[in-house]
C-alpha cells in the first residue's frame, strides 16, 4: 500500500531529523532506511542502493543532513530588549488610557458645573421651570 510506504518514509525522516538535532548518531553509524513514496506517474518505487555496511537506502531519498542552517536562538539581552519594548508599549497605552479617562471626567465635571450654574441662575431669577416633554 502506498500510504504505508509514505508513512514509513515520514517516520524515517522525522527520526533522522530528531537525531541530527539531538546530536546523536544513528545506531551502528548508518542512517535508518527510509523508503520513498511511489512516484505518481510510474507507480513504482525508486531503486534501492546497497551501502558498504549491508544496509540499503532509496536513491531518491538521501539521508537528511544535520540542521546547521537554523537561525541562532536570540541572546538573553535580545529577549530582555523585547520585554523592555513590550513593557514600554504597555506603559504608553496605560498612560494614554488614563489621560483619556481624565479628560472624560474633566468634561463631565464641567458639564455638571455648567448645568448646576444654569439651574441656580434660573432659581435665583425666578424663571418658571421648563415643562417636561
The pLDDT of residue 113: 96
What secondary structure does DSSP assign to 33-60, as a single string?
P-PPPPPTTT--PPPEEE-TTS-EEETT
Question: Does 40 reside within a domain?
Answer: yes
Query: For a pLDDT cut of 70, what percent of the chain falls above it?
Result: 54
Range of the domain at 108: 71-133
Domain count, the chain: 2
Residues 53 and 104 in one domain: no
Position 19 scores a pLDDT of 85
Does residue 54 share a domain with residue 102?
no
**In a 10 Å sphere around its CB, with 0-12 CB exposed, 13-18 middle and 19+ buried, how is residue 12 labelled?**
buried
Checking if the pLDDT of 129 tops 80, the result is: no
Q: What pLDDT score was predicted for residue 82? A: 85
Asked, for residue 65, whether it belongs to a domain, the answer is no
pLDDT one-digit tens code per residue, 3-57: 989 999 999 999 888 888 877 554 445 555 555 554 444 444 444 555 555 555 5
Let me know if residue 64 belongs to a domain: no
Residue 45 and residue 85 share a domain: no
Amino acid at each position: 500500500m502506498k500510504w504505508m510506504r509514505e508513512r514509513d518514509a515520514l517516520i524515517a525522516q522525522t527520526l533522522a531529523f530528531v537525531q541530527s538535532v539531538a546530536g546523536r548518531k544513528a545506531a551502528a553509524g548508518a542512517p535508518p532506511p527510509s523508503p520513498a513514496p511511489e512516484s505518481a506517474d510510474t507507480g513504482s518505487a525508486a531503486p534501492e542502493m546497497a551501502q558498504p555496511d549491508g544496509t540499503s537506502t532509496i536513491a531518491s531519498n538521501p539521508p537528511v543532513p544535520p540542521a546547521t542552517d537554523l537561525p541562532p536562538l536570540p541572546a538573553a539581552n535580545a529577549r530582555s530588549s523585547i520585554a523592555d519594548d513590550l513593557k514600554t508599549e504597555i506603559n504608553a497605552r496605560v498612560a494614554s488610557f488614563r489621560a483619556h479617562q481624565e479628560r472624560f471626567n474633566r468634561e463631565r465635571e464641567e458639564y455638571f458645573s455648567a448645568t448646576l450654574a444654569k439651574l441656580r441662575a434660573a432659581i435665583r431669577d425666578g424663571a418658571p421651570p421648563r415643562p417636561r416633554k
